[in-house]
Chain A
Amino acid sequence: MNQRRRKNFNPIDAPSLARWIVIATFAAATGLSYVYLTVQLHHQGVQKKLLEEELVAVRVQNEDAKVQIAALTSRTALQRRLREGQLKMIPITEQSIVRLNISGRPPGDDEVQPVVNERGNP
């Protein structure tokens, strides 16, 4: 009886099964890796997009700040502030101006250039 039952069962080809299991595992691992890497790529893409947006935002803020600085320091703005009394200017008198009379002749390497304070007397 036992012999008959044994005859009716399909014999298991262990090496073949093992081979298929390895192949299936490899295929599954490959598939999962592919999915994982694809998801990672998407994730990196999202991160990249966020960084790009952040960079753009920083650039835009920088531009905005530059515009505000230009608006506050433009000649027109400074003159308006001067008129409103927020700025003061101190006039420079003629006596306070020191002029350096540069010689018309180009000095040599080892020559000392004359520098004077009195106008017209080099």
Chain B
Amino acid sequence: MKWTSRTRCALVCAFFAFLFSIFSYRLIYLQMVKHDYYVELAAIKNGSRETIPAERGAIYDTHDEVLAQNVPVATVVADGTLLNNPDALVPILAHALQLSPNEIAEKISSHRPYIVLKRELPEADARALEETLKGKKLRGVRCERETVRVYPNGSLLCHVVGFLNFEQHGIQGIEASMDQYLRGADGYRYIERDAHGDELVLYRGAERPPHNGSQVHLTIDLHLQTIVEDELDAAVREYRPEKATIILMRPQTGEILAMANRPNFDLNLRAEAKPEQMKNRAIIDMMEPGSTFKIVTAASALNERKVRLDSMIFCENGVWNVFGRPLHDHGHTGYGELSVQDILVHSSNIGAAKMAMMLGDQKFYEYIRRFGFGDRTGIELPGEIGGLVHAPRDWSKISITRIPMGQEVAVTPLQMIMAMATIANGGKLMQPRIVKSIVDDEKKTISTLQPTLVRQVISSETAALLARALRDVATKRGTAVEAAVPGFTISGKTGTAQKAAPGGGYEKDKYIVSFSGFLPSENPVFVCLVVLDDAHTKDPALNYGGTIAGPIFSRVAEKAARYLDLEPHEEIETKSTAGRVALTNAPR
């Protein structure tokens, strides 16, 4: 072969062509044949799925006062592989995070890629720290934003609002029952980072924005709640009960206006609270209702036309031996002939028992169930119990004489107030509601809960008769003169039940006292229930529903009537009849 310049040139060209062909082949092999493999490898090495957290919805009262909201905080995280000057970092972090320099040094010396230095650092402190790190060009420490739940009103309405666990899931109260609406849905974004750990925005992958949680508006009126809580605090100071509950509701719609229990706890300091303080006793505590249950007995007998309000029943002068067991009436000498109205006004056990016997076991049981006892009410709060109502086949011989006066049945305070609300609402049992509406992130109302009629328990005529009969309870003739509200006629019923002992029988000198009533009697605007478990009085003879729960009802109802601007029927007396009957020098 002749090595001409043309030949040499051709050889060089061929060499380069061959070389670049190899490169091209390799390029095609890497970019096309092995594309998926290397993309995956790159994604594993540099890419990640970044979660965009959804904001939890706030909880408001009926007038849009905030009950629960989120506060932004930061988690300070160090990446041990990116720290460029650990020695300079230590004093800065120790000062900003209020931690000891040794602790910081020990943590960051591990060279792990994710070292949590401090959680829940306030937003302002996090911003200051970031500025300092940026100014000093220190790498490897970042602040991850998150939110924590705060409750501006502390212990107010604590059992209703509830709280979250560490994973931000509601575990009590509205936070738990409305969790699916409040929580929202986290978004995500596939990202890639450079060698410094900064995001390469150019290589952002699929993305879904977060769907923030909805706002929940309650039927609770915080002003009424404050009235109730203040009176409950005063009652606890005065009578030192083991437990206490007050509920205020609107009978026509079943809206709960206020609900408070003692003992309670501060929602912002829930780690310090004991389990006993966290129970919403209005829905999870069972109690024998005592004489307040006589409204069920009387309503049943009146509705079945077994008696009229003026029907006379002989009350055996205070002691009735029935089925071999004596049944007593409270009072000095007992009662002889009493009208049905007076049986309620004087709270005669014998009269109530005789009315129930006129009905018979089965019919009486049916009415008890129709009033909602033995079933959960369906309120939007978690953990509600249905109480305990035995079927007639499980009754003893004397059950028909004991159940009418509120023994041998266990009810929740909410069930008890619903029974009174049924009478206030013309015999209609409504479903209690505590959630008014749910509004999504774009301020669009996604759910407005309408009043729900459960059933017509008794006729409206019977309800009106009973409401009229119960007006005299809060008069000088009745058992709760101190429950009267100046300027208004009220209908109500007292209850004093011996406290059931855990092992059976009753505890000595321990009572659950209660008063349940509505106002104004003719056209009720609200129903209120006051229950105190094991109240302590100086004089044990004053440990009755009428003397302890009655005055509390009076004060709550009077303040609530003023707030709701109810027009008094009578001239307002300058001095309230609802004085304190025991420990009058107790501090308020």
Binding site for B on A (CB under 8 A): 38, 41-42, 44-46, 48-49, 56-57, 60-61, 63-64, 66-67, 70-71, 74-77, 79, 94, 99, 119
Contact = CB atoms under 8 A, between A and B. Distances in A.
Contacts of B198: 49
Among A45, A66, A74, A99, residue most surrounded by chain B Cβ atoms (within 10 Å): A74
A70 B69 contact: yes
A117 to B, nearest CB: 13
Nearest to A97: B565
Interface string B48-91: 00000000000000000110011110000000000000000000
Interface string B549-588: 0000000000000000101000010000000000000000
Binding site of A, secondary structure by majority: helix, strand, loop or mixed?
helix
B69 A66 contact: yes
B124 interface: yes
Contacts of B210: none
Contacts of B147: 63
A76 B71 contact: no
Q: How large is the interface on B (under 10, 10 to 19, 20 to 34, 35 or more residues)?
A: 20 to 34
Contact of A60 (B145, B156, B202): B145
B441 interface: no
B375 interface: no
A56 B202 CA distance: 20
24 contacts: A41-B202, A42-B200, A42-B202, A44-B201, A48-B201, A49-B201, A60-B72, A63-B147, A64-B72, A64-B123, A67-B71, A67-B72, A67-B150, A67-B152, A70-B69, A71-B150, A74-B152, A74-B153, A75-B156, A75-B222, A75-B223, A76-B152, A76-B153, A99-B567
Contacts of B199: 49
Contact of B66 (A42, A70, A99): A70
Contacts of A45: 200-202
A90 to B, nearest CB: 15
Nearest to B70: A63
Nearest to B154: A76
Contacts of B65: 74-75
Interface in B117-131: 123-124, 127
B177 interface: no
Given A46-B201, A49-B199, A57 B127 contact: yes
A64 B66 contact: no
Nearest to A67: B71
Nearest to A64: B123
A74 B69 CA distance: 12
A71 B152 CA distance: 5
B226 interface: yes
B195 to A, nearest CB: 14
Nearest to A47: B201
B72 A74 contact: no
B123 A79 contact: no
Contacts of B150: 67, 71
A44 B567 CA distance: 67
Contacts of B154: 76
* 6 nearest CB pairs, A to B: A45-B201, A74-B152, A60-B72, A67-B71, A70-B66, A76-B153
A76 B152 CA distance: 8
A77 to B, nearest CB: 7
B153 A63 contact: no
Given A75-B65, A76-B152, A76-B154, A63 B71 contact: yes
A16 B198 CA distance: 48
Given A64-B123, A70-B69, A94 B226 contact: no
Contacts of B123: 60-61, 64
Contacts of A77: 152
A64 B71 contact: yes
A71 B268 CA distance: 12
Contacts of B70: 63, 67
Contacts of A76: 152-154, 156
Contacts of B152: 67, 70-71, 74, 76-77
A64 B124 contact: yes
A62 to B, nearest CB: 9
Interface in B151-172: 152-154, 156
B481 to A, nearest CB: 24
Contacts of A119: 567
B226 A74 contact: no
Nearest to A72: B152
Given A48-B201, A49-B199, A79 B66 contact: no
A67 B286 CA distance: 38
A79 B202 contact: no
B572 A94 contact: yes
A98 B276 CA distance: 47
Interface in B477-532: none
